[in-house]
Structure formats: C-alpha cells, structure tokens
Structure 1
Amino acid sequence: MRASLIQLAVEASETAEQRRSRAAALVLDRAGDDLVMLPELWPTGAWDYDAWTEGAEGLDGPTAAAMSAAARAAGVWVHAGSVIERDGDGTLYNTALVFDREGELRGHYRKIHRYGFDTGEAVFLGAGQEIVTVPTDFGTLGLAICYDLRFPEIFRALIDAGADIVAVPAAWPAERLEHLRLFARTRAVEEQVFLLACVATGEHGGMRQAGHSMIVDPWGDVLAGAGDGEQTLTGDFDMRDVEAHRTRLPVLRDRVLSIAAPRTR
C-alpha cells in the first residue's frame, strides 16, 4: 500500500479556513494513494488553548466537510488528523476522524490520554473512553493521538481489537523529538504493526512543533522519515509483512499478563 503523511505547518498567521483549503489541496495531490494523513489539531493548533472553544466543531463541521470532499475527489482514505470536537452536551474532545474513499466518516476516536498535567488538554478537554479501530481495504487501522504514545497499554488493546496498522497524528514539541522517535519505533516493535506518525511543524501558541513524521515497519525500521519543515512524506509497504513478522518472531503468542482496557468499538 501507499501512505502519505502531510506534515502541515501550523502557524498563528494562518486562519483555520486557510489551513483547511491548503490541506484539502494537498490531499487532492495524493490521488492514487491508499491513505493520506494529517497531524493533530491542525485546524486550531494544539498549543493555543484560547482558540479551542471558538474553533470547536461537530463531527459534521467544516473540517469534516472539507476532508470528506477531498477524500471523495481523490479516491483515498483520509485520516484527517484531529479536531477540537464539541459534543452535544458542550464537552470538548480532541477527536480523530477517518474517511473512506467515498468520503464517508468511517470512524472517530476521542483522545484517551490528555496532555498537560494541570493545564491544557487535562483541564479543557474531556477524556475519550473507547479503543477504536477502523476496517479498511488495506487492513485494520488502529487510532491513537500524540500523548497516547507514552502509554503502551492502549497499543496492546488496539492489536487485541485487530489492528495491524496504527495511525498517530501528533503535535509533538520539538524539544522532545527523541522521545517521539523512541516511542514510535518501540510501539511498532512491541505490537508488530506498521505505525504512521504524522506530526505538525511550525510554531503555534509559543510551542515549536517537532515535525519529523515517520512510517515505521513491524521490525522497528523507519521506512520513510521527514525533516522539520512542511512536506508530504510518502511510503510504500506491504501489509502482508505484519503477519510475516508475527510468524517470524511470535512474541505476541507468548503473552502471559493481560490488561484492563477501555471499551472497544
């Protein structure tokens, strides 16, 4: 399969609508791919908390509409990164959206692990409660977001739910780039999956974002990696390698301990 990760620059000088237009055009450029992916919270920025309430939207909001139309026009699956979602009761969530080749919303995931300790997501956003996988024509896609990478139990739960490829949109701080690289490769090796980390670049809310998006195979090798500027990273890989790696080194078969996981859907 072929996946493209759009390492979008999120800058305060650009409006959300301008970014939506740019993102849609970049998706259209990838017609012929299987999956096109965007970073975490690219419409509002992940570090400008004051913009979240005004920029929040529903699952049928302007970002969903733009990405649905782009997916349909390009004939690709689109992982639209994540948006600030406003639920019917007014709660805000950091929510990932996945559209199929016809532009239908096939899955959404509310971020379980909220970053910020006593600030940011931990204060302003609700926590997701469910593990989410999405069946596609190239495999079962597991969904996680940024800070989730620090919590291996969610990835174990995703493979228990059938995931053989995991997509992780992120707005990772540049000062912790080496942690990103470490966790992305480790999670791919632990779960013997392909892991796609699409990371925002630019500076927003006073935070320099890391970029360096990557596609990691089940052996932990980085098949394709980006730099720190805006770019589209494309990689070709064979999903049959997941089963090949799990057969070659059947560590998952030897699991002894199990964990309690959130609900799965």
Structure 2
Amino acid sequence: MKICAIPYDIIYADVENNLISVAHQLNQVEPDTDIVVLPELFTTSFIPESALIAEKAELTTGHTVETLKRWAQYFGFAIAGSFLATDGKGHFYNKAFFVEPMGDVTFTDKRHLFPISSESKTYTPGSTFPPTIRFRGWNIRLIVCYDLRFPVWTRNQPDNLYDLLLVPSNWPVSRVKQFKLLLSARAVENQIYTVGCNRTGSDKFGDYTTGMSVIFDNLGDDIKETRRNGHIYALLDLRNLKEGRERFPAYRSTDNFTIDLTPAVR
C-alpha cells in the first residue's frame, strides 16, 4: 500500500479556491499511490462564526463530495480528509470522508470537539463508532484531529479490527510534540500504521509549520519520505504488519470493554 499525505495552507472559508488548490496538488501525486490523505476541514479550515458555518456547510451530496468522487475516479486512488458538513436540519459536523475510485464513500463525524475553541459549541459531535473501511486488502479506520487524544476511541479490539489509522488534522505547532507522540502511541498500542496529515500556514488559532505531518509504523517509527513539493509518502507492508503481531501478540492480552456513546460534550 502506497500512501501520500498532502499538507497545505488552507484558505479561510474559501471552498472553491481550496478545491482548486487541492486539484493542483493531486495532479502531482505519484501515479502508483493507493490513498491520499488531506488535512482536517480541507475546504474551509476551522470556522467559529455560526452564520458563516451555516453558509459554508454542505450536505454529503453536495459540491465538495461530488468533486472528491470525480477526483478519486480520475486519479484511481482513494481520498481521505474532513469537511464542514450539515444535515440540512441545523446541525453542523466536522465530517471525515473516505472516497474510493469506484464511487463508494464512507463518512464518520468527529466525536471529540475541541473545547478550547468554540467547536464544541457550534458543531455536533459524532454519535457512532468510526466504521472499519475495507480497501485493497486493508482494514482502515478514520478519526479527526482531537480524537487522537482518546485511546479508547481507537482501540483495536477485538483481535485487530484494522491495520491503518488515518488522522486528518489542524494541529498547531505549539503542540507538535504531543501530536507526534500520540500518533506514535496509537501505532504501538494498536499494532497498526498511523498517518497524521496536518495543514500548513497559519490562522488566528495558531501556526502550522511544514514537517508536522507524519507516518508511523507499528513500532512507532516515523517512516515518511518527503518529496520536494512537500508531499509525504510511505510504503506500508501488510504482511510485515501481521507477522509483527504474531511475533509479539500483545493484542491477545487486550482488555475487553464497551463504549458508552452518550454525548461527548457535557
């Protein structure tokens, strides 16, 4: 599995120009790539203002998702990330997507909304567990940014439900150490690969420098290769991953538990 993460500077609340920017980036992706990961809220960045949220949020059948489906079909790789979504009934979501070349789309809503910003007041948290996506022989799970801080939310039980965790993010450089530490920890404790794709640039919430996006293997080692255009790549080996699990079968000692999906924001 060849994976690519594309860090880039998101233009605030400008859906059309961000789509143009991403189209340019996708044209530079190496043709044997299987999955491309984009940052969190890739067409808007984080919007706190209620009126602007209502103006920019889209249905899952809207322009952004239809554009993603055309891109995935044209380029022949899956595309993951998150966008500002609405259900059309006054609820707004930080909605992650996984769009496949054949047109299949999987969605999951960000569960843990960042309390230091107004995200927890203006967005609705996810109410279902992230699904496991089956793609080209791999089992994949998708979470968003702040979800990374909650290990129960990503626990790979029972018996290795997934192999790869994708984390589109908008994580400021002031907490870069924690970002990389948490991605590495999720990889080790779940015996999986993790991909953290972070935006670049800056906004009123912080700075997002280049070099923050990372790809970790199941031993917690950063295996990314950075190209001149800033894209990061890694080749993921499912056979090696499964052999590593059998050499050190920590998953067999995992504690069983259930998750109470009462509202995350209390």
TM-score, normalization by structure 2: 0.89
Contact preservation (8 Å) 1:44, 1:83: yes
Percent identical residues: 26
8 Å CA contact 1:10–1:204 kept in 2: the answer is: no
Hey, what does 2:111 align to over in structure 1? 112
Give the structure 1 partner of residue 120 of structure 2.
122
| Whole-Å separation in 2 of the counterparts to 1:37 and 1:134 | 15
Deviates more, 1:154-163 or 1:130-139: 154-163
Q: State the partner residue of 1:63.
A: 64
Give the structure 2 partner of residue 162 of structure 1.
161
Letter in 2 for 1:166: L
Gaps of 5+ in 1: none
Match of 1:99 in 2: 99
Provide the rounded CA distance (Å) in 1 between the counterparts of 2:36 and 2:95. Answer: 17
Q: 1:192-203 maps to which residues of 2 (within 5 A)? A: 192-203=191-202
What's the counterpart of residue 54 of structure 2?
A: 53
- Asked whether the 8 Å contact 1:144–1:169 carries over to 2, the reply is yes
CA apart distance, 1:257: 4.5
Cα pair 1:216 1:222 within 8 Å, conserved? yes
Shift in Å, 1:115:
0.6
Supply the AA of the counterpart residue of 2:124.
Answer: G
Instruction: State the secondary structure of the residue aligned to 1:147.
Output: helix
SS at structure 2 position matched to 1:222: coil
- Structure 1, residues 189-237: CA drift from partner, whole Å, max 9, x if none? 000001011101111234212541111101111001669x972111112
- In 1, Cα distance between the equivalents of 2:118 and 2:226? 27
Q: Which residue number corresponds to residue 219 of structure 1?
A: 219
Judged with a 3 Å threshold, the aligned counterparts in structure 2 of structure 1 residues 137 and 158 are, in CA distance, closer, same or farther, namely: farther
RMSD: 2.3
Aligned residue type for 2:63: P
Q: Report the alpha carbon displacement of residue 158 of structure 1 after superposing the two structures with TM.
A: 6.8
Tell me if 1:250 matches 2:244: no
> Quick one: which amino acid aligns to residue 194 of structure 2?
L
Question: What secondary structure, in the 3-state scheme, does the structure 2 residue paired with 1:223 have?
Answer: coil
Greater Cα offset, 157-166 or 37-46? 157-166
Does the 8 Å contact 1:188/1:194 carry over to 2?
Answer: yes
Counterpart in 2 of 1:78? 79
What's the counterpart of residue 205 of structure 1?
Answer: 204
Cα separation, partners in 2 of 1:220 and 1:157, compared to 1, 3 Å: closer
User: Could you say which residue in structure 2 is the equivalent of 1:35?
Assistant: 35
Question: How far, CA to CA, are the matches of 2:34 and 2:157 in structure 1?
Answer: 21
Please report how far the alpha carbon of residue 8 of structure 1 lies from its aligned counterpart in structure 2 after TM superposition.
Answer: 1.5
Moved more, 174-183 or 55-64: 55-64
What are the equivalent positions in structure 2 for 1:146-185 lying under 5 Å apart? 146-156=145-155, 162-185=161-184
Amino acid at match of 2:216: V
Aligned to 2:3, the other structure's residue is in SS state: strand
Counterpart contact for 1:24–1:67, Cα < 8 Å: no
Moved more, 190-199 or 216-225: 216-225
